[in-house]
A and B are shown apart, each in its own frame.
Chain A
Amino acid sequence: MGYLNKLEQEMNTCIRCAYCFEECPVFNEQGWDSDGARGKVILSYGLLSGEIEPSRYIADKLFQCTCCRDCVERCPSNVRVVDIISSARADLVDAGFASETHKYVIENIKNTGNIYGDTEVTSPVREGETPLFIGCQYLSRPNKTKRYIKILEKLGFDLHIQKEICCGFPMEILGFRKDFEAHKEKFLKSFPYKEAIAFCPTCTVFLKEGYGIDVKHIMQVILEKLPEADLGLKVTYHDPCDLSRGLGIIDEPRKILEKLGVEVVEMKRNKAQSGCCGGGGGILMSDSSLSDRIALNRIKEAMDTGVDTLVTSCPTCEQVLKKAAKEIGEREGKNMVVRNIEDILWKGLKKGGK
């Protein structure tokens, strides 16, 4: 257990109080103690101590985590739960317990530089001053990307874009650390910058934590430059975990929406305590039914606010919440429109000043 070895002290710091149960999306969905973050830390400890052997069942439990960091937020002992879980995953992958869908994604990154293995993607290359990192998710949504770039350029950013490859985060979080070590060098060659702007919350966190790049998420850089607008919308805002808990970007999107004349009605769980969308940590690929159920819970929570539009600023959250909203719409006839904040920004800019 080469990776967990380094975290023994961290696991001993866990007092096993179970505070992490409170809003753990997987625990609340499945209910076994082994589903909650504490359970996963205990399983990791057992793997390290040798009291339990790696198995498919244990791997499934440890991969059933959205890595939403709610546990980290609530932990009274500040235990680095996600580090522990991702290290356990790395040891399990080394022991031969990687999931087939995860292997597929990793192969895609290795072969094409893109998580989807999408050979069609092209980075909208341009010379400029401020390096921009787009990320696989947005690159595979070229229309959105084009608009986001236009928004930044309209606001006066002189962007520098070059051919991108995946930041490697999936390798890290899915336990393919050896592959990540090899990928890291390739990535740094493709993106040799000390400062940058990024679109995707997850890439933003990873460029910071994995590479030490001083990267700002787009939400952090546009507020000042954004002209006011009067869109007259009423929405609820879903905080992506990587923005709110990962980077503390909580006020910025709300201020941006306010500036564009959009009123935000908060969900019961919001800001740093935001509920999970169900899309993170790899479960979207390895356990889509669990992911769907978590997303449905979040959409129901959004519906409780009484508004009919949910805005978010992460492509993964957008994708899974859209799917859940569609399902509820078809099943129960209730409507919740899920929009990326980029869409609102675009409308706001088009409408121009008040």
Chain B
Amino acid sequence: MKPDIEGLKAIVGKNNASDEIADLYVYSSDASVHQAMPSAVVRPKTHEEVQEIMRYADKNKIPVVPRGAGSGMSGHAVPIDGGIVLDMKRMNRILDIRPEDVICKVEPGIVNDELNRVLRPFGFFFPPTPSSGNICTIGGMIGTNASGNRAVKYGATRDSLLGMKVVLANGELVTLGTNTRVEASGYQLARLMVGSEGTLGVVVEATLLISPLPKYRAMGMVNFSRLEEAGRAISNIISAGVVPSMVELMDNVAITAVNKALDLGLPDVAAIVIFECNGMVKGTVDHDMESIKKICEGHNGTGIKVSDDPGEMARIYAGRKKLFPSLSKYREGLACVSLADDMAVPISKIADCVHEIHEIAKRNNVIMSAYGHCGAGLIHTKILMDPTKKSQWEDAKRAVKQVYEYVHRIGGTTSGEHGIALSKAPSWKEEKRDSLEMMRAIKRALDPNNILNPHKLMDAPDDWTTATALRYQVKGA
């Protein structure tokens, strides 16, 4: 059923609901390869409005897809069954900051970096640090359990979330979790919402744990001529009891890309590892940096640079920071496509996994670079391909499948931080095959009419290439 646009306008105001084809088209895609048109876009301002929309949608069995910035890479906010896209960005107030309790309460549409700008004068920050923090919303971060380059020290969104208010599919408002740091017994329902990708409820308020801003920070960079040695060094750093705030790896494809695009003059080695430590006491930070340096030297790491000067640290990180643009301009005619974009593996298997990704890319006529927050066992890739050619999609499909088969074989998981939605669902369903029914039972219990972001995760189609239209125009063979 097509939503009644006038009815929706009556709930949120006439300027906050649209069924204009241009708006529907823009909201039909996110940062993934997927595209599907909604029938209406609605921008609520209050939880009461969300409740009213949900009551209406549930009664009429109209799909509703919550959406933050739409920066998900696997099709999270793409309305595969049409219906209403609920753009949550107007619900962006910070409701309370309580440094004495190290918590804050926010609405879901607040952007991560904006929250951090407001927390800074209090001497605090919200620790998950996604690269997309400049635009992604707290609601989206809860939806995907986002994390970032500092996950190695601070964990993911899950680890900084205490409680929330959620509007369920039938419009009911429930309070989950707590305001306290600990909570024993009972189903951890707030946690169930984390990573549920908008399929179980609409988060309308979140209570977040905040951390004091560290006073000192130092960063280092080391080259490895063999990938295995970089992998072993990372594994040893983590198991040695040092707690770095960042351990990033760039493979040779990544190094070549940034050198080509930015002329950074990085050495043409198998891998570069960038590490960072932070804390309240300079001596501790220096000590940890020294320990990491020694471990890297022990694994034949060369050209080690360490600095606590902000300018020098920015220079060290420049290549990693600009990796994305460099990849997307890697070669004329190739686009940087979000596929097999993340995975997590046991830390000891990082080097093997990066090596295998290169082999799989070669076998399938695409280019894949591996990089990421390797201190947390997290690897990112992108597929560089010609998205206008049908054969390249077949190549990409094989590559994605093979990558995840390998990841599962070595004890890894399909997504470390970006989430599943559509393009990772076929592989993820393989990984989770014996718990899919349990997930479906939970979904049925909370959303019997299957209206909240339907056909994602465990219910996503088995072939991502045909799950929705592709956002690229595929023309020739």
Contacts and interface: CB of A to CB of B under 8 A. Distances in A.
A and B co-occur in one complex: yes
Interface of A: 8-9, 12-13, 15-19, 21-22, 31-34, 39, 42-43, 46, 48-49, 51-52, 55, 57-58, 61, 74-78
A19 B336 contact: no
Interface string B5-32: 0000000000000101111011101110
B391 interface: no
Interface stretch (B53-61, B159-167, B327-335, B361-369): B327-335
Contacts of B132: 17-19
B71 interface: yes
Contacts of B333: 9
Nearest to A20: B135
B472 A12 contact: yes
Contact of A13 (B26, B90, B335): B335
Residue with the highest number of chain B CB atoms closer than 10 Å, among A15, A34, A57: A15
B135 A21 contact: yes
B216 interface: no
Contacts of A57: 20-22
8 contacts: A12-B472, A17-B71, A17-B135, A18-B31, A18-B71, A33-B26, A49-B473, A77-B328
B319 interface: no
B381 to A, nearest CB: 14
Instruction: Tell me the dominant secondary structure on chain B's binding face.
Output: loop
B239 interface: no
A55 B22 contact: yes
Given A12-B387, A15-B338, A33-B27, A22 B329 contact: no
Given A15-B328, A77-B328, A51 B69 contact: no
B23 A32 contact: yes
B183 to A, nearest CB: 34
Given A16-B30, A18-B31, A31 B22 contact: no
B329 A13 contact: yes
The 9 closest A-B pairs by CB, nearest first: A77-B328, A34-B26, A76-B324, A12-B335, A39-B26, A58-B22, A16-B31, A18-B135, A18-B69
B82 interface: no
Nearest to A79: B328
Contacts of B325: 75-78
Contacts of A42: 25-26, 29
Interface residues of B, number: 38
B341 to A, nearest CB: 10
A33 B70 contact: yes
Contacts of A55: 21-22
Nearest to B329: A78
Contacts of A34: 22-23, 26-27
B436 to A, nearest CB: 29
A34 to B, nearest CB: 4
A49 B25 CA distance: 12
Given A17-B135, A52-B21, A76-B324, 14 more contacts: A12-B335, A15-B336, A18-B31, A18-B70, A18-B132, A18-B135, A19-B134, A22-B135, A32-B23, A32-B41, A42-B29, A57-B21, A77-B336, A78-B325
B337 to A, nearest CB: 8
A266 to B, nearest CB: 16
B31 A31 contact: no
A85 to B, nearest CB: 14
Interface string B67-90: 001110000000000000001011
B134 A22 contact: yes
Contacts of B324: 15, 76-77
B388 interface: yes
B471 interface: yes
Contacts of A22: 113, 134-135
B43 interface: yes
A43 B89 CA distance: 20
A332 B74 CA distance: 48
A48 B25 CA distance: 13
A43 B31 contact: no
Contact of A32 (B18, B21, B471): B18
Nearest to A58: B22
A48 B70 CA distance: 22
A42 B23 CA distance: 10
B142 to A, nearest CB: 18
Contacts of B338: 15
Contact of B87 (A8, A17, A33, A76): A33
A11 to B, nearest CB: 9
Nearest to A23: B134
Interface string B25-57: 111011100000000010100000000000000
B423 to A, nearest CB: 14
A296 B90 CA distance: 21
Contacts of A74: 134
Contacts of B113: 22
Contacts of B472: 12
B20 A21 contact: no
B113 to A, nearest CB: 8
Contacts of B471: 16
Given A32-B23, A42-B26, A43-B26, A15 B31 contact: yes
A51 B36 CA distance: 12
Contacts of A76: 322, 324-325, 328
